[in-house]
Structure 1
Amino acid sequence: MQHLLAGCSFSHQVWHEVLPWCHSTAALPGQNDEFIAWLTSAIAATPRCLRRRLTSITILTDWWLCKHRNGCIFHGGNPSASRAVNDILEESHGRQTRSSRAPKNPVERRGGELQNPSHGRGGAGGGPPRDWLSVDETAAAFLSRSLSTRPPILLPPPLHRAPLRPGNIVEIAGPSGSGKSQLLLMSAVQCILPKEWEGVYFGGLGKAVMYIDLDCRFDVLRLAQILRKRIAAGCGSVHHEEFETDGSKDKFRLFESTLFSDCMKRFLYVRCYNSSELIAALKSLKSQSEARNEIFDIGVYFLMLDSIGAFYWIDRALQPTRESKGKTLSFQSITETVVQEIHKFLQLQPILVLVTKAPIYGEGITTSNDFQRGSPKYMSEDSTPLGYPKREEERNGSCREYMPSAWQTFVTHRIKLQDLAQEPGFFSEQENAILSVHTCEWVQPSLNSKEKFYIKDDGVGLIQ
C-alpha cells in the first residue's frame, strides 16, 4: 500500500496533477517517505483556509488509486494516469454537486422534535457556528478557478516535456558549459515577452522575472541578444513587409525599441555575493513584487537562482556561530532559511522557481602520488587515477548531491544537463557554424528519454 500511494512513478504522475487543484505548495511524496507522515507535513505547510480541500482531495485520490490498481489487476485494464485524474475530477465534481443540493441549514431530530443545531450557540461574530460548513462553490467551479489562476506554463524546448505550474520548484543541474544559464535566459525572455503587441503575436507570458545572480556570471548582452532575436522573429512575418513597402525602416526600429524597453522593465536583476545577501533578497521578494505590481500592474511570476551552490564552500568554511535567537548558523541552517523564505512567498503568491545547480566535486580526490601512478600509460579511458573503474554516473558527468535534505525535499522537478564534448558538433545552416551538442534529461518526473540540443543566437534548438 505504501508503494501504491507514494512509491511508484504512476502515483507520482497523479499527485503532480492533483495537488495544484488545492493550491498546495507541498512537495510530492517521495519513495522513502511514509504516506501518513508526508500527509501530516503537507497539511501543516498548507494555509488553514485550504487544509479541508487538501484533505478531501487526498482521501479521494487514495481511493481512486486503489480502485484503478484493482481494475488493472482483476479486470485486465491498462494503467492510465490521465484517466485516473479525470475520474478523480468527475468524482470530486459529483460529490460537490450532491452536497450543494443539501439544505444549507440542517436540522437535527432530538426527542421527536426538529431542532436547529445553531440555536442556543453563537458562532464567531454572532453568526451560526456551522456557517463554515455551507458550500460556497462546486468542485467544477473550484477547479476552473484554480486552473485559471494557475494555468500550465509551457516553456521553450527542451523544458517543454513536463507541464509546469506556479508553485513548482525546478532544479536544473549540470556541469559548467552544459547550458544551464542559457536555459534560464531563454525562459526569462519567454516570461517577459508579451503574448501579443500591437497585433503581432509573440507567444510570451507578459509577466515579471526576478533573476538572482549568485555566481556573478550573468550576461546582459546575451539576454538582450535573445530578446531582440525573438522580437525580430515575431515582427519579421508581419511588420517587415509593411514597413518595407512604406519605405520607412525608422518606424520598424521605433516599434522594436519600444517593445524591447517594455520587456526589460519586467526583468528584475539582483546580484548577491554571499548567503546573507541571498536571504535578504528573498525577504524583500514580497515588497519587490508589490512595487512592480503598483507601477506596472504586473507581479513577479518567475524566480530564478543561478546558481544555488555558489556559496557552498564559503558557508562550509565558516565556524558554526550562534545567532541572537540561539540558532546555530551553519550551511544546514542557511539552506533551511532559504527554503523557508521561498515557501513563505509561495503561500502568498504562487510563482515558478527555476534554480541551477553546478557540481562542486570532481570525479575523485587524488594526491601527488596518485598523479604519478595515474599517467596515461597506466590508465584506461574508463578508469580513475587510482586505477579503479569509473562509475556510470561519473562517466556521464553527473554531479554528486551536496545540498541538504531540506532542499532536496523542497524541489519538485529535476533536470540533468550534460555537455557532449566528446561527440562531433552539430552544423547549423542558420548560424553557418559547428555548435556544441548538449543533452537534457528529466530526472523528476522520470521521462526515460534524453534530448539533444544546441545553443544558437536566438535561444536553443533541438536536434531531431
Structure 2
Amino acid sequence: MAKTWIDTDETAKQMLTRVLKDRPLLHLPPPLHRVPLGVNTILEITGPSPSAKTEILLHVAVNCILPKNQNGVQYGGLEHTILFFDLDCRFDIHRLSQILKLRITEAGTMHKAKDSQTECDESDVFKECMRRFLYTRCYDSFEFLPALKVLGYKLMSNGVYILMIDNIGAFQSIDRGFSSLPQQNPSRKKIGVQTVFETVVQELKKLVGLHSMIVLATKTVSNQVKSSYSNRVSGGLKSGYREFMPLTWQSFVTRRIVVRRLERKFGDRVSYSAEWLLPALSVSDEFVVCDSGIKGLL
C-alpha cells in the first residue's frame, strides 16, 4: 500500500484538479468579484476610515454562511464556515443579523411568489447560518498571538473556509510603544512591530497551509498622508496611501484592493469606489451600502 503510494506520480494538472475539487476558486460578491480567490490567498482590503471595509467583510460573511438552497428555497449562499477576528473591538452583531435576516426574507419572498405551497422556517435558517459564523475578539497583540497559536486545534472539527481579520494594523501604535521600552531581560527577544508581525505571518502560514483557508484582512490607512506607493504597484493609480505595515506582512499579501468614500451620492446613499492594486486592474467599481448588504453600481 505504502509502496504503491510512493511509486505513484501525478502531473501538475492532476494535482490542481485534485486540490481544486476540494476547494474550488471562490467567487465573492461585489466589490470583490473581479478576481476569484484560490486557497492560501491573502487578500488585504485597505482604505481610510470610513470606507466600508467592515461592511465588505460582513457582506462576504453573509454570502458564505447562507445555504445554497434549503427546502426548495434558493438562498444563493456558499454554506461555508468563517472565523471573524475583531481587532478593532467594534463589531456590530445587530448589523450582521440585519443583513442575514433581510437576505433570508428576500429569498423566502421570491420563493413564495413562485411556489406558495411550500413553507420555509426563516428562524431555523438563521440559526443554522449563525452556527457557521465563528467570532473572537482581541484587545491587543498579547491576546491576538496566543489566539492564532491555538486556533489550529480549534479548527480541526469546524472546517473554516475563510479567516477574516478586521483591521490587521489595529495594535500597531501599541506594539511600537513596546519596542521603545528598555529591555529587562537581554536574552529574550524584544517585543515590537516587526517581531509581532513575524509571528503573525508565521502562524497564519501554518493555518492556511493546514486548513487550505483564504484570509481576508482589512487595513485602515490615513486619509491625509499620500505617497507614490500605489502608483508603483498599480501602474498609475491617481492617489495612494503610505504603506505603514512591516515588509513581512506586505510580502505575505497576495491580493490587495483599495476602497474609498466618494464625494457624490447615489440617491440618499453614500457611494464608494474599489480598485484592485494586486493584481493591478484598470477598472474601478462603485458600490453603496444598503440594509441588506452591499450593492454594486453599474
Q: Partner residue of 1:309?
A: 169
**Cα-Cα RMSD:** 2.7
Q: Once structures 1 and 2 are overlaid, which stretch shifts more, 164-173 or 390-399?
A: 390-399
Against the structure 1 CA distance between its residues 284 and 393, is the aligned structure 2 distance closer, same or farther, given a 3 Å change threshold?
closer
The CA distance in 2 between the partners of 1:336 and 1:132, in whole Å, is 36
TM-score, normalised to structure 1, is: 0.58
Is 1:450 aligned with 2:290? no
The CA distance in 2 between the partners of 1:462 and 1:216, in whole Å, is 28
The CA distance in 1 between the partners of 2:182 and 2:84, in whole Å, is 29
Q: Partner residue of 1:160?
A: 33
The CA distance in 2 between the partners of 1:282 and 1:392, in whole Å, is 30
Is 1:399 aligned with 2:261? no
User: Cα distance, 1:449 vs. partner?
Assistant: 1.3
User: Cα distance, 1:398 vs. partner?
Assistant: 3.4
Structure with the larger helix share: 1
Against the structure 1 CA distance between its residues 203 and 324, is the aligned structure 2 distance closer, same or farther, given a 3 Å change threshold?
farther
Q: Determine if contact 1:358/1:399 at 8 Å carries over to the other structure.
A: no
**What does the per-residue CA deviation read over 1:385-421, in whole Å, with 9 as the maximum and x for residues that have no partner?**
xxxxx98979966321011000000000000001113
**What does the per-residue CA deviation read over 1:198-232, in whole Å, with 9 as the maximum and x for residues that have no partner?**
12222211111110101112111111111112112
Counterpart mapping for 1:118-137 below 5 A:
134-137=7-10
Q: Partner residue of 2:135?
A: 269
One-letter amino acid matched to 1:261: K
One-letter amino acid matched to 1:214: L
Q: Aligned pair count?
A: 290
Q: Matched residue of 1:449: which SS?
A: strand
User: Cα distance, 1:137 vs. partner?
Assistant: 4.0
User: Cα distance, 1:306 vs. partner?
Assistant: 0.6
Aligned counterpart for 2:112 among listed residues 234, 239, 244: 239
Q: Determine if contact 1:454/1:462 at 8 Å carries over to the other structure.
A: yes
Q: Partner residue of 1:354?
A: 216
Q: Matched residue of 1:268: which SS?
A: strand
The CA distance in 1 between the partners of 2:139 and 2:229, in whole Å, is 35
Q: Determine if contact 2:229/2:241 at 8 Å carries over to the other structure.
A: no
Q: Matched residue of 2:280: which SS?
A: coil
Structure index of larger Rg? 1
Q: Matched residue of 2:155: which SS?
A: helix
**What does the per-residue CA deviation read over 1:117-171, in whole Å, with 9 as the maximum and x for residues that have no partner?**
xxxxxxxxxx98xx78733445553332122022010111110100101210000
Q: Matched residue of 2:242: which SS?
A: coil
The CA distance in 2 between the partners of 1:336 and 1:327, in whole Å, is 12
The CA distance in 2 between the partners of 1:342 and 1:320, in whole Å, is 29
The CA distance in 1 between the partners of 2:143 and 2:186, in whole Å, is 18
Q: Partner residue of 1:338?
A: 200
Against the structure 1 CA distance between its residues 336 and 344, is the aligned structure 2 distance closer, same or farther, given a 3 Å change threshold?
same
The CA distance in 1 between the partners of 2:243 and 2:127, in whole Å, is 40
Q: Partner residue of 2:259?
A: 417
Is 1:459 aligned with 2:281? no
Which sections of structure 1, spanning at least 5 residues, go unmatched? 1-126, 365-389, 428-433
Q: Determine if contact 2:87/2:167 at 8 Å carries over to the other structure.
A: yes
Q: Partner residue of 1:426?
A: 266
Is 1:181 aligned with 2:54? yes
Q: Determine if contact 1:397/1:418 at 8 Å carries over to the other structure.
A: no
Counterpart mapping for 1:15-26 below 5 A:
none
One-letter amino acid matched to 2:176: R
The CA distance in 2 between the partners of 1:403 and 1:329, in whole Å, is 16
Q: Partner residue of 1:169?
A: 42
One-letter amino acid matched to 1:144: T
Structure with the larger strand share: 2
Against the structure 1 CA distance between its residues 287 and 134, is the aligned structure 2 distance closer, same or farther, given a 3 Å change threshold?
closer
User: Cα distance, 1:179 vs. partner?
Assistant: 0.8
User: Cα distance, 1:340 vs. partner?
Assistant: 0.4
Q: Determine if contact 1:172/1:414 at 8 Å carries over to the other structure.
A: yes
Identity of aligned residues (%): 42
Q: Matched residue of 1:337: which SS?
A: helix
TM-score, normalised to structure 2, is: 0.89
Against the structure 1 CA distance between its residues 150 and 358, is the aligned structure 2 distance closer, same or farther, given a 3 Å change threshold?
same
Against the structure 1 CA distance between its residues 397 and 309, is the aligned structure 2 distance closer, same or farther, given a 3 Å change threshold?
farther
Which sections of structure 2, spanning at least 5 residues, go unmatched? 232-236
One-letter amino acid matched to 1:304: M
